[in-house]
Amino acid sequence: MSHGPLLDARVWQLLLEADRELAEKARAQGCSCGGKLHSARYPRKPRRGVPLELREDYRWRESLCCEREGCRRRTTPPSLRFLGRRVYLGALVVLVSAITGGVTERRAAAMRALVGVSTRTLQRWRAWWLVTFPEKVFWREAKGRLAPPVDEARLPASLLERFPGEGAGDGLVACLRFLAPITTSKGYAMAV
Ligand SMILES: [Zn+2]
């Protein structure tokens, strides 16, 4: 497991495109009332990791709102970039947690230098993967589709390993796509 994908601008571009496609799909479906959906993006301030040229695009989380007076229902499509309301991007939460595993001082120091994640944040993410995530309805249903079973004591590294991918980052992108259902409106309960 390496941090290589985090340094690959193509990975951030792929995640951005995937999010736009998911938003387009949701928009094409329209609101459940039959109304049209228009863009009502949420501002986000991802702290680290995104290449300079993509930073403006990463300041927004796609979301849609029904244009019908009296409905105005919000539809928030799944996202490969934003895992809940965290200031850190999903890619970082997955990859950095996978790399650091049991958080040692040395690993924490390396991650601090690379993406500016504090030891306390790493520990919080670790707790989320080991305690909160395994209890999620999404995971309890999804894990049955993965054979042999994923070792939950080694999350998220054990999950990431199931998405080997071709080049640097492809596995990470595939893993984030798998996790995307937990990022929808309902999944927001997970926000730390
Ligand atoms: Zn509506």
Give the Å distance between the CA of 57 and the centre of ligand 1: 27
Q: Counting beta carbons within 10 angstroms of the beta carbon of residue 182, is it exposed (0 to 12), middle (13 to 18) or buried (19 or more)?
A: buried
Q: What is the pLDDT of residue 143?
A: 93
Q: What is the pLDDT of residue 118?
A: 84
Q: What is the pLDDT of residue 115?
A: 76
Q: What is the pLDDT of residue 49?
A: 74
Q: What is the pLDDT of residue 131?
A: 93
For the chain (192 residues), the mean pLDDT of every run of 10, in chain order, is 71 90 94 95 81 88 94 92 80 83 78 80 89 93 92 93 80 91 62 36
Q: What is the pLDDT of residue 122?
A: 86
Q: What is the pLDDT of residue 99?
A: 79
Give the Å distance between the CA of 104 and the centre of ligand 1: 49
Q: Closest Cα to residue 26, out of 68, 116, 18? A: 18
Q: What is the pLDDT of residue 166?
A: 65
Q: Which residues pair with 65 in a beta bridge?
A: 38, 74
Residues 6+ apart with CB under 8 A from 138: 181, 182, 187
Q: Counting beta carbons within 10 angstroms of the beta carbon of residue 113, is it exposed (0 to 12), middle (13 to 18) or buried (19 or more)?
A: exposed
> CB–CB of 110/69 below 8 Å?
no
Give the Å distance between the CA of 33 and the centre of ligand 1: 4
Give the Å distance between the CA of 181 and the centre of ligand 1: 21
